A and B are shown apart, each in its own frame.
Chain A
């Protein structure tokens, strides 16, 4: 590079805070998201928790712009979501979507700046951080489930996003693979990436969360720092959920 630009800690395009105001999403006459206000900002690892069907994944899709709300607005750093800033929003799906290419090519695909050699170098670094360097030439879809999810996270982190959104990334993984994923997410957080993790796994939330948003029936039921939430949940629904009672 001819000029050294001061590091911004991410790729330079601001998206935080990501804000949803008055969000409503209806499907088949049912309000999946019911007049919700939600903001992603600050640092650390936020967890969105709640039972299946509470609207957690849908909320993520609204905040990333994948779904258009029936009412309400989503903004990234005060402006409407746009394609140019998409690299600043890393997203990992429950079931990893991997291109029919090598692991390395999957990561290189999301890097849009620099020449091919530079992008290859950055992609290799991302694979090293994810412990996948030895599999860089392997077709991505031949990797194991845990490796595939690690690759998806490495790919989401490769452009150095400002925020990493994860939708139940460990839902289909065994404990060993889950531990590796959580370590990877912890690394991202330590390097200053804001992380939002959607999960219905109470134990996982306890292990990693800095703060908790509990969602029930398309509404935010409770929002507290993690310690306070687990010690003394305020809402009846979150109390029932933590107690392991079945909510129907």
Chain B
């Protein structure tokens, strides 16, 4: 296990030395996943809110589908996005395959169901409480959506963080549509897979540590947000 110990030491060396190759990969990872989460929020939050306050035929079918999509296998999403973006696909002319944009699309598709489903649940619970008040105040449908989204902002922020956790940690989708091209589409997860198979354990471990730290930061942020929300009686 000599190699293993040495790899750990080397990994922390890379991290503490802010190794340029490492930083480039981390930077791209964050850029891709944060953009995907932002897009998912713009789509998923209003969608979840509308689903949360609406009653229509077939709603329960949609909710079952939505909850199923939450557990969508990343490789399947990667495959579908690949087929759409490949030269023969409907979006082929955009020439997005093997670019960060393709990775953002794939991760957005993974995260949108998560944000939508969590927002739907949060908004539906709050709507049960607010409905009569808002109706008696003459608040319209869109006013209701806006009010509920604002008042549920803490819970929704944690939903977004859950989405970010999923996006930054997945490997299947970005590998298929990004191609793990050095300096172009190499992110933390794909780099770990590659470097491990090449036997370059130091870089892989360094990136693994960063991913773990990110997970810790996300969970700490979620707890912090919950505590803040409880303090101001938002929960």
Judged by a CB distance under 8 angstroms, whether A99 is at the interface is yes
Contact (Cβ within 8 A) B135 A100 = no
Q: Which of B130, B136, B140 is the one whose CB lies under 8 Å from A91?
A: B136
Q: Given known contacts A83-B140, A142-B233, is B151 in contact with A101 (CB within 8 Å)?
A: yes
Judged by a CB distance under 8 angstroms, whether A97 is at the interface is yes
A87 to B139, CA, bound (A): 10
Interface size on A, residues (CB 8 A): 22
Judged by a CB distance under 8 angstroms, whether A22 is at the interface is no
A83 to B136, CA, bound (A): 8
Judged by a CB distance under 8 angstroms, whether A66 is at the interface is yes
Q: Which of B133, B137, B147 is the one whose CB lies under 8 Å from A87?
A: B137
Interface of A is mostly: helix
Judged by a CB distance under 8 angstroms, whether A230 is at the interface is no
Contact (Cβ within 8 A) B135 A66 = yes
Q: Which of A84, A89, A93, A101 is the one whose CB lies under 8 Å from B133?
A: A93
* Closest Cβ neighbor of B132 among chain A residues: A66
Contact (Cβ within 8 A) A86 B151 = no
Contact (Cβ within 8 A) A139 B138 = no
Q: Given known contacts A139-B233, A142-B233, is B136 in contact with A100 (CB within 8 Å)?
A: no
A83 to B130, CA, bound (A): 16
Q: Which residues of B contact A141 (CB under 8 A)?
A: 233-234
Number of A-B contacts (CB under 8 A): 42
Contact (Cβ within 8 A) B130 A97 = yes
**Contact flags B138-166 to A (C-beta < 8 A → 1, else 0):** 10100000010001100000000000000
A110 to B138, CA, bound (A): 9
**Contact flags B89-108 to A (C-beta < 8 A → 1, else 0):** 00000000000000000000
**Contact flags B197-235 to A (C-beta < 8 A → 1, else 0):** 000000000000000000000000000000000001110
Contact (Cβ within 8 A) B132 A93 = yes
Judged by a CB distance under 8 angstroms, whether A46 is at the interface is no
Q: Given known contacts A141-B233, A142-B232, is B151 in contact with A99 (CB within 8 Å)?
A: yes
Q: Which residues of A contact B140 (CB under 8 A)?
A: 83
Judged by a CB distance under 8 angstroms, whether B129 is at the interface is yes
A83 to B137, CA, bound (A): 8
Judged by a CB distance under 8 angstroms, whether A193 is at the interface is no
Interface residues of A in 23-46 (CB under 8 A from B): none
Contact (Cβ within 8 A) B136 A86 = yes
* Closest Cβ neighbor of A84 among chain B residues: B138
A99 to B140, CA, bound (A): 16
Extra contacts, 19 of them, besides A83-B140, A84-B138, A110-B137 (Cβ < 8 A), are A61-B132, A64-B136, A66-B135, A85-B138, A86-B136, A86-B138, A91-B136, A93-B132, A93-B133, A97-B129, A97-B130, A97-B133, A99-B147, A100-B152, A109-B147, A139-B232, A140-B233, A142-B232, A142-B233
B contact set with A: CB distance below 8 Å: 129-130, 132-133, 135-138, 140, 147, 151-152, 232-234
A contact set with B: CB distance below 8 Å: 61, 64-66, 83-87, 89, 91, 93, 97, 99-101, 109-110, 139-142
